[in-house]
Chains A and B, each alone.
Chain A
Amino acid sequence: MASIGDGSERQRIAQQRLRVLAGHLRRLGAEERPGVAAQECRAGAGTTEPDDKPPCSVPKRRQDIMKWNGWGYADSKFFFNKKGQGEFTGKRYRLSGLILPSLKDWFEGTFGANLQHKSPAVPSLNTSAVAPPSLNEAFVEELKSTGIPFSHDTEDRVFRAHGHCLHEIFSLRDGRVGRCPDMVVWPNCHNDVVKIVELACKHSVCLIPYGGGTSVSSALECPPEETRSIVSLDTSQMNRILWIDEKNLTAHVEAGIIGQDLERLLNESGYCTGHEPDSMEFSSLGGWVATRASGMKKNIYGNIEDLVVHIKMVTPRGVIEKSCQGPRMSTGPDIHHFILGSEGTLGVVTEVTLKIRPIPEYQKYGSVVFPNFQQGVACLREVAKQRCAPASIRLMDNEQFQFGHALKPQVSSIFTSFLDGLKKFYITKFKGFDPHHLCVATLLFEGDREKVLQHEKLVYDIAAKFGGLAAGEDNGQRGYMLTFVIAYLRDLGMEYYVIGESFETSVPWDRVLDLCRNVKERIVRECKEKGVQFPPLSTCRVTQTYDAGACVYFYFAFNYRGLSDPVHVYEQVEHAAREEILANGGSLSHHHGVGKLRKEWMQETISSVGLGMLKSVKDYLDPNNIFGNRNLL
């Protein structure tokens, strides 16, 4: 994975802040019960920023450092330099500032794209194209009196009007903006949220919670049919770790904290959550809970539902939470499971108690090359059967393996390039692997050094039984990097008529191969049928293993030159691919959620009775549909 830290100076400041914070927490812990401490809220006293706020990687004014029409930081992006070589700008990532000599060939070869054919985005947001806010004056008046910060600045609104679905980004690049929230409000703590929700109910305002904005399910899209004033409730300012309980290894955290901050802050006290979804740089704790997120290292740490011990959520009906933090309870259906995956339809998650772990002593990447995808899947299945999966194990298909290779930076010496050549020779010629069939599993081991090494040996031994050859740490690490830069790569593609996206599913083991093959083939055929002029990139990887199945992740992209409505074509193909997934025994979603994008399949997915159950919960908690994003149901 990409390392995010940038230098020891920052590290030093952070350490210092940590000491302050730790001191503060200890003081709180000593004098008051933790629950009470959580309810203290400085913002209640005035509009000033709390002085003990930890540094937040994404500021309140997202536009200061984030792209308005693409993924991530404004200073980080791929481009082709004058020599036609790929480059990645900025200083934030391992790839930053490096030259990627094979990117162009891969890009042109895979998509039939051409660097001469550009499809640039509009240079900046035309604020006059955005409809003026329709404000609920009474609500605004009362909100002012609470002192909670809010804004109806156009940029603020536009930033919170979308997630990162292809159609959302494509429109922005075209300078088109749909329905936006009419204002943005930034609660600073749980009590602020309680007040906002009360006011929203009182004045009949529609609330849409906003965390990190990384949704890929149209979850943040404002329903066009909504007639009430829409208020985006941005949780980003609720980003403190309220306490750490070292005896029980839990941390109580405000739900607006984003992944990288949470991890960094915990690291400073020697802990981690180990929850690392691919979006962790920007996605928030509350968002994870609301979508049932999954982390790359779930084999050790578990998915979000395994990690949470306690959730507090504000609903129009009141605050919902449990009375204790017992590790497991038999008290009827777990109310957490109404909240997990509720996608902002029931209320706002404000505070979460999470399990934490000491930072692992040792981390090691690895990779294994298999002669073909079938063998690779068989190996992963065996690893899952023996329940010895490393922190992460992922299997990329051949196309993705080649994709990964296209991101190989320029090698520094002739010697390394010679070594690379030798490796390639060994695998393809000596071992007889067909370069057009071989595939790679990337591995990440974590724990104490000795155990990691033992574990590593065990896994490599299993791999060998399936014809797998160890292929080094570097290949492994690059594989993980791919997941962090893929969204940046999509922005690059969009500069040259290439659009695409990823989607995922989970499926029983015995159907993994069939599903992968059929979905990939369906994509290729649908593209052809829909008039796409060039063969698409249709690739997948198995990203998670479970006892009874696996998570499969697809990338799908194509060159849209010659199409009049490329986004529509894209959506039709993705729709067909989802139909294919479902017909092959795959689930509607493993971790992206349903949002509005996949709503149409909910009834078939959970039965009409199941849907009725969820609806009745919604009706009880939010009879007036204050949380009116219309996701899920």
Chain B
Amino acid sequence: MEELYSRRYISYPDGFWDILEERRRTSDLSHALRTFNPQPYKGAPPCSSSELNRAVLESQFLRHVVKEVSAESGEPVEVVRDEASGLLEEMSQNLQLTFIRLLGFSLSKVFKRLFQKILINEEGLNRLQQAIPEHPVILMPNHRSYIDFLVLSYIMFTYDLPIPVIAAGIPLMSMKLIGEIFRRSGAFFIRRAIGDDKLYWALLSEYVRTIVRIGFAPVEFFVEGLRSRTLKSLPPKLGMMHMVLEPFLKGEVYDISLVPISISYDRVLEESLLAHELLGVPKPKETTRGLLKARKILEDDYGSMHVCFGEPLSVRGLAKGTVNRWQYNLVPRDLPAKPSEETLGFVSGVAHLVVRLQEKGMVLSPWSLIATVLLQNPLGMDLDALIQRTCWLRELVEGFGAVLHWTGQVPACEVVLSSLSRHHSVVRCEKGRVTLVEEAGASPATPEEGVFRRAAAVLMCASYRNQALHVFVRPALVATAITSPTVTDEDIFAHFQFLQDVFSNEFIFIPGTSHQDFEEGCSSLRKCGAVQVCDQQIRVTEEGKDTIFFLTAVLEPFIQTYQMVFRHLTNEPDQPFTERQYITGVRSSTLKRILSGDVQSFEALSSDVQKNVLSGLVRMGGVTKLKKGVRSEFRVDKTTIGRIADKLAGKMPPHLTIQSRL
């Protein structure tokens, strides 16, 4: 994987293009009804959904699994086969051009209301256009909003590219009419929490593989698995990734092109919903009615969205020297087989790489910078100071290589003011002072309620900061390592690795590339003049102190939350708990500590971070996961947690760290 990572991928120049521009000039109807004649992979013939389903059901692989399942469950083969066929019905897409046109028409209307601009990089689109006839293409967007995949299909339609077949979550399907429309626009539906339902896994994987093999349409899926509630990249899920790569590994196709796609929004439609979910208000079930109610959303201004198509990655190129394909020679390829360690490592490396490239391709909104600045000044700040700090930050992130949606000529105050007004639900600017907006309503009945209201505002703001977090995380980790009290020069890298290990559920690092990450962090700091490196020693410069302070402050909410959870767990009585019990426990103890002033960061209330701490602890051995029937329980190892906490607080030199598992 190291080698993969070190290759340079193109950073995106200012070649973005507004696809709504033409829609505002010409008829949406004729756009929807124009001749649509995309060129598929190798001239693959169109494949109807029933043909596809038949191919899946009649595959050797499925026949085998059906027999196995039947033998295990004692049910007759026919029954299992019918069950399989039913599941496939539920799953399968039913791509129809008429519906694409219908969708094309209505989306033109909706998008024009919602967005000022939908900006795409034409260069990336051209590369995609060239890639499609060559090899099966996998579109891999990040997932920040429900409308992500609508936008993508809309772009593909607009540019005469084959409409992708999309892996979608089953909740969407249960929305009556919408579900069917999505299905006919190429979505297929996957159940959540498949667990070890063998038949379902078999169907899904054969379904996906068959589409890739035939190549009649690009496959689109969200490698992060879920919509990110925090707008931060999520650690990739590997199941679907493996299914998609298998046809190459088994030689069934010559190559596969993976296209990372970075979607970013000035303002996300679901922003307030997200914050509430994170605070423990469950997510409303997706219903058609809910969507219609969301009509009021249409009245608001959501600014621009950016869709950046990355350079297609050749799976063959990635696999070279990494995976030995001989391993598939001795077993029939269409029988189920457990993937080797080597294969799993490769799949994970590729998935992480894609997420990383999604991050790199992301176009940042100035609002992300403003949110970052505001979070470091929780009591609010003067508009002038905000503008000044934002400009300072702009220079910093551009130096770090990020692409900003900040057109050169527009004066900074205009940019800041328009962002502030677009995000009136989060911030308010009154009498030259900018503060976070807390939910309106009667004054809070209890102090707890007050905290939650405040936290909702902070988390909304934090999610926009999160969109830019990947830009900071490497230099910030280096900065934290340098400034950690007990860390000596020789130990900086070790401490950096330790921090990466602790936070590897929080931020995306490609496994096995700590050295490059460290290098990248150091070189970013050096470039902005924050540090000097001489004789292998890293020294903070006088003028760099501010930058270092800023960067450590970016990580501070996370460190606080982690320490908070560590303390909570080490203080709790020693008995197994479920995830739900854990969340409730952590939430109430966080609340207490916030009220007592013990913890300052309201982000500690985010259930997302809390869950990440738990997974991180499981990985590092601070918590053991016990399988108990369907539910898992967890047991705490207080000594290990104590040690991790001490190290994180810089109370223990890092060379005593347990071996990094990255």
Interface residue ranges of A478-521 to B (CB < 8 Å): 510-511, 514-515, 517-518, 521
Q: How far is the CA of A506 from the CA of B561 in the complex (A)?
A: 61
Q: Are B329 and A585 in contact (CB under 8 A)?
A: yes
Q: How far is the CA of A585 from the CA of B252 in the complex (A)?
A: 11
Q: How far is the CA of A260 from the CA of B405 in the complex (A)?
A: 78
Contact with A along B317-332 (1 / 0, CB 8 A): 0000000111011001
Question: Across the interface, do B254 and A584 meet the contact criterion of CB distance under 8 Å?
Answer: no
Known A510-B332, A604-B326; contact A583-B251, beta-carbon cutoff 8 A: yes
A577 to chain B, nearest CB (A): 13
Interface string of B282-294 (1 = CB under 8 A from A): 0000000000000
Bound state CA distance, A248 and B42, in angstroms? 57
Q: Which residues of B contact A518 (CB under 8 A)?
A: 251, 254
CA distance A140 to B221 in the complex (A): 76
Q: Are A510 and B333 in contact (CB under 8 A)?
A: yes
> Are A583 and B254 neighbours in the complex by a CB distance under 8 Å?
no
Q: Answer whether residue A352 sits at the interface, using C-beta atoms and an 8 A cutoff.
A: no
Q: How far is the CA of A515 from the CA of B254 in the complex (A)?
A: 9
In the complex, the answer to whether B326 meets A583 with C-beta atoms within 8 Å is yes
> Is residue A100 contacting chain B, with contact meaning CB distance below 8 A?
no
**Complex interface: chain B residues within 8 A of A522 (CB):** 254
Does any Cβ of B come within 8 Å of A582's Cβ?
A: yes
**Residues of chain B lying within 8 A (CB to CB) of residue A604:** 326
Q: How far is the CA of A339 from the CA of B254 in the complex (A)?
A: 38
Q: Are A584 and B251 in contact (CB under 8 A)?
A: yes
Complex Cα distance A522/B328, Å?
19
CB of B251 within 8 A of CB of A515, answer yes
Cβ contact within 8 Å between B254 and A585: no
In angstroms, Cα B252 to Cα A521, docked, is 13
Q: Is the CB of A517 within 8 A of B329?
A: no
Q: Which residue of A lies closest to B319 (CB)?
A: A583
- Write out, one digit per residue, whether chain A residues 179-206 have a CB within 8 A of any chain B CB (1) or not (0): 0000000000000000000000000000
- Which of A515, A517, A604 gathers the greatest number of chain B CB atoms within 10 Å? A517
Instruction: Tell whether, in the assembled complex, residue B251 and residue A511 are in contact, meaning their CB atoms are under 8 Å apart.
Output: yes
A332–B333 Cα gap in the complex (Å)? Answer: 34
Check B325–A584 contact: CB distance below 8 A: yes
**Residues in B whose Cβ lies below 8 Å from that of A583:** 251, 324-326
Determine the chain A residues whose CB is within 8 A of the CB of B332 once the complex forms: 510
Chain A interface, number of residues (Cβ within 8 angstroms):
13
The residue in B254, B328, B333 that gathers the most chain A C-beta atoms within 10 A of its C-beta is B254
Chain A residue contacts of B325, Cβ below 8 A: 583-584
Does B329 lie within 8 Å of A521, measured CB to CB? no
Q: Contact mask A580-591 → B, CB, 8 Å, 1/0?
A: 001111000000
In whole Å, how far is B449's beta carbon from the nearest beta carbon of chain A? Answer: 63
Q: With A and B bound together, what is the CA distance between A517 and B254 in angstroms? A: 8
Q: Write out, one digit per residue, whether chain B residues 334-349 have a CB within 8 A of any chain A CB (1) or not (0).
A: 1000000000000000
Name A580's closest neighbour in chain B (CB-CB): B251
The secondary structure that dominates the B interface is loop
- The CA of A522 and the CA of B333, in the complex, are separated in Å by 21
Residues 227-254 of B, flagged 1 when their CB comes within 8 A of A and 0 if not, give 0000000000000000000000001101
Q: Chain B residues with Cβ under 8 A from A585's Cβ?
A: 251, 328-329
Smallest beta-carbon distance A327→chain B, Å: 32
Count chain B residues whose beta carbon lies closer than 8 angstroms to a beta carbon of A: 11
Q: Are A582 and B326 interface neighbours, CB within 8 A?
A: yes
Decide if the interface of chain A is mainly helix, strand, loop or mixed: helix
Residue of A nearest to B255 (CB): A521
Using a CB-CB cutoff of 8 Å, which residues 51-101 of chain A contact chain B? none
Q: Which residues of A contact B329 (CB under 8 A)?
A: 585
Report the nearest B residue to A521, measured CB to CB.
B254
A521→B253 CA distance, assembly (Å)? 10
Cβ contact within 8 Å between A514 and B252: yes
Q: Which residue of A lies closest to B329 (CB)?
A: A585
Complex: A256 Cα to B42 Cα, angstroms: 51
Segment 362-388 of B: residues with Cβ below 8 Å from A: none
CA–CA, A95 to B254, complex, Å? 39
Give the distance in Å from the alpha carbon of A514 to the alpha carbon of B333 in the complex: 12
Question: Measured between C-beta atoms, what is the minimum distance from B411 to chain A in Å?
Answer: 50
Question: B residues within 8 A CB of A511?
Answer: 251, 333
By a CB distance below 8 angstroms, the chain B residues around A582 are 326
Which residues of B401-443 have CB atoms within 8 Å of chain A's CB atoms? none
Q: Which residue of A lies closest to B250 (CB)?
A: A514
A522 to chain B, nearest CB (A): 8
Docked Cα-Cα span, A582 to B326, in Å, equals 7
CA distance A521 to B332 in the complex (A): 23
Q: Which B residues between 512 and 529 are near A, CB-CB below 8 angstroms?
A: none
- In chain A, positions 513-560 with a C-beta closer than 8 Å to chain B are 514-515, 517-518, 521-522
Q: Tell me the nearest residue of chain B to A513, going by C-beta.
A: B252
Complex Cα gap A517–B248 (Å): 13
Contact with A along B385-400 (1 / 0, CB 8 A): 0000000000000000
Cβ-closest chain B residue relative to A515: B251
- The smallest C-beta distance from B3 to any residue of chain A, in angstroms, reads 18
- Give Cα A517 to B325, complex, Å: 16
Distance between Cα atoms of A518 and B325 in the complex (Å) = 13
CB distance from B387 to the nearest CB of A (A): 52
Per-position binary interface string of chain B over residues 251-274, scored 1 when its CB falls under 8 Å from any chain A CB and 0 otherwise: 110100000000000000000000
Q: In whole angstroms, how far apart are the Cα atoms of A521 and B314 in the complex? A: 14
Residues on A with beta carbons closer than 8 Å to the beta carbon of B324: 583
**CA–CA, A583 to B326, complex, Å?**
5
Which residues on B sit within 8 Å (CB–CB) of A584? 251, 325
- Chain A residues with CB under 8 Å of B333's CB are 510-511
Within 8 A of A (CB), among B15-66: none
In the complex, how many angstroms separate the beta carbon of A512 from the nearest chain B beta carbon?
11
Report B343 CB to chain A, min CB distance, Å. Answer: 14
Complex: how many Å from CA A345 to CA B509?
A: 53
Report Cα–Cα, A511/B334, bound state, in Å.
11
Residues of chain A within 8 A (CB-CB) of B252 are 514
User: Closest A-chain residue to B332, C-beta based?
Assistant: A510
From residue 439 to 480 of chain B, which have CB atoms closer than 8 A to chain A?
none
Contacts of B334 in A (CB 8 A): 510
Nearest-CB residue, chain A, relative to B213: A514
Set of chain B residues within 8 Å of A510, measured between Cβ atoms: 332-334
Measured between C-beta atoms, what is the minimum distance from B253 to chain A in Å?
A: 8
Q: Which of B325, B328, B329, B334 has the most A CB atoms < 10 Å from its CB?
A: B329
How far apart sit A514 and B326, CA to CA, in the bound complex (Å)? Answer: 14
What's the minimum C-beta distance from A467 to chain B, rounded to whole angstroms? 16
- In the complex, what distance in Å separates the CA atom of A583 from the CA atom of B252? 11
A510 to B252, CA, bound (A): 10
- The B-contacting residues of A in range 402-457, CB under 8 angstroms, are none
A381 to chain B, nearest CB (A): 14
* Residue of A510, A514, A521 with most chain B CB atoms under a 10 A cut-off: A514
CA distance A191 to B329 in the complex (A): 46
- Bound-state CA distance A511–B329 (Å) is 10
Chain B, residue nearest A586 (CB): B329
Q: How far is the CB of B331 from chain A (nearest CB, A)?
A: 10
* Residue of chain A at shortest CB distance from B248: A518
- B485-527 interface with A by 8 A CB criterion: none
* A605, closest chain B residue (CB): B326
Residues in A whose Cβ lies below 8 Å from that of B328: 585
> In this complex, which of B251, B252, B324, B329 has the most chain A Cβ atoms within 10 angstroms of its Cβ?
B251
Query: Can you list 22 A-B contacts with CB-CB less than 8 angstroms, sorted by A residue number?
Result: A510-B332, A510-B333, A510-B334, A511-B251, A511-B333, A514-B251, A514-B252, A515-B251, A517-B254, A518-B251, A518-B254, A521-B254, A582-B326, A583-B251, A583-B324, A583-B326, A584-B251, A584-B325, A585-B251, A585-B328, A585-B329, A604-B326
Interface residues of A (CB under 8 A from B): 510-511, 514-515, 517-518, 521-522, 582-585, 604
User: Which B residues are closer than 8 A to A by beta carbons?
Assistant: 251-252, 254, 324-326, 328-329, 332-334
Instruction: State the 9 A-B residue pairs at the shortest beta-carbon distance, nearest first.
Output: A583-B325, A584-B251, A585-B329, A514-B251, A521-B254, A518-B254, A514-B252, A518-B251, A582-B326
Known: A583-B251, A584-B325. 17 other contacts (CB 8 A): A510-B332, A510-B333, A510-B334, A511-B333, A514-B251, A514-B252, A515-B251, A517-B254, A518-B251, A518-B254, A583-B324, A583-B325, A583-B326, A584-B251, A585-B328, A585-B329, A604-B326
